[in-house]
Amino acid sequence: CFTGMAYMMETIASWNSPLVVVQLLGFALLGGMPLGTLVLGIAQSVLVVWFSHPLVSIYNNEATVIEAGAVRLAVVASTYVIFGVADVFVGAIRGYGAPIAPVIINLLGTCAFRLVWIGLLDTSRVPVEWVYLSYPISWMLILLALIPCWVHLRRKEARRHV
């Protein structure tokens, strides 16, 4: 649901707009998209964490399973907004005509980083929360890699339209 709203936030700015690409993407990213994504994401994260026990109990009624699911939701759902903001930058980068860079950044940040993270953990000694931390850390790494990519493309496009 949240990722769908993040995609919606990307497209709203392009409806019936006479702006050129650099103006449109600059307005969208410096304007309402990250803010809207943050507000919606934080609101949904709070609701999911708040109602984590009833939500997990939809799938299983065992108290230990519900508690484990609530712990996972506390770590993952509370930080999912980072991924939503990163997804907005993915759309903006694709809008500049560079679809491969966000795919590579996402693959490295999601798959490669998490595999290395899990490989380096001694799962017999650390709690499962350390495994869950790979999600928000990887999302932050993805976001930190996407922002300079977007800045570079924005400057390149701005020079082209001067």
| pLDDT tens track for 97-134 | 899 999 999 999 999 999 999 999 998 899 999 999 99
pTM (two decimals): 0.77
pLDDT-wise least confident of 38-42, 73-77, 80-84, 144-148: 38-42
pLDDT, tens digit (0-9, with 9 covering 90-100), for 61-73: 999 999 999 999 9
Dist. CA 70–CA 74, nearest whole Å: 6
pLDDT value of position 16: 46
- Alpha-carbon torsion, ordered 73, 130, 4, 32, to 10 deg: 100
pLDDT value of position 22: 47
pLDDT category at 15 given cuts 50, 70, 90 is very low
Cα–Cα distance list, 3 to 62, 80, 91, 121 (Å)? 30, 9, 12, 29
